Amino acid sequence: MNTMVELYCRGKGIPIIRGNVPPQYSREIDAFIQMQIRGSRRNTKRKEEFDNMKIRNICLSVTEKFNSLCESPIEDYLYKALDNEELIQYFRMQFKIGTKIVDFACPIAFLVVECDGREYHFTEQRQIDKDQDMDKYLARKGWQVLHLKGTDIRINIALCISEIKRILNPFISNI
């Protein structure tokens, strides 16, 4: 017999004979058990709601942490697009390869995705030289570099994502 039922019976003066309750008390015991079940369900529901709230808060803090890794709005835009396509799981942001740090890296495909803002990466000769040196360095380490212009990311993100998928396809079978 259930310990809670035994405690209830003792408290109410209901006799328990060889682990059974006399038939005249069965409705009362059944009502007590149903009340216990409803209370247990309410407690479980509250606990689930509390746990879901904790999980949501953890997810928000993780998302905020990842989003804070974005160094520019175009990186953030690409991050969200990769996330929407369920590709972000394959990428690491601000990933260090040797002495270089790249915007996005997919280690299983040895793919680097660089988000290049026009005003910075295409107009200043010093930055152009620096980008070319980094590309050569990464190529020597076995990495392929995909440069995406900021305007392309903003205007035609679908094309950018399809190019990334095309490169990842041999490495990730379900895309």
Mean pLDDT per 10-residue interval, the chain, length 175 residues: 82 89 90 90 82 70 56 89 94 93 95 82 74 94 94 94 95 77
Instruction: State residue 144's pLDDT score.
Output: 96
Instruction: State residue 4's pLDDT score.
Output: 85
Exposed (0-12), middle (13-18) or buried (19+): which is 64, by Cβ within 10 Å? exposed
Instruction: State residue 131's pLDDT score.
Output: 87
Instruction: State residue 73's pLDDT score.
Output: 87
Global model pTM greater than 0.75: no
Both tokens assigned to 23: 């038939």
Instruction: State residue 39's pLDDT score.
Output: 87
Instruction: State residue 112's pLDDT score.
Output: 97
Instruction: State residue 122's pLDDT score.
Output: 55
Q: Given CA atoms 65, 96, 70, 169 in this order, what sign does their dihedral have?
A: negative
Instruction: State residue 55's pLDDT score.
Output: 74
Instruction: State residue 45's pLDDT score.
Output: 83
Q: Chain-centre distance of CA 102, in angstroms?
A: 21
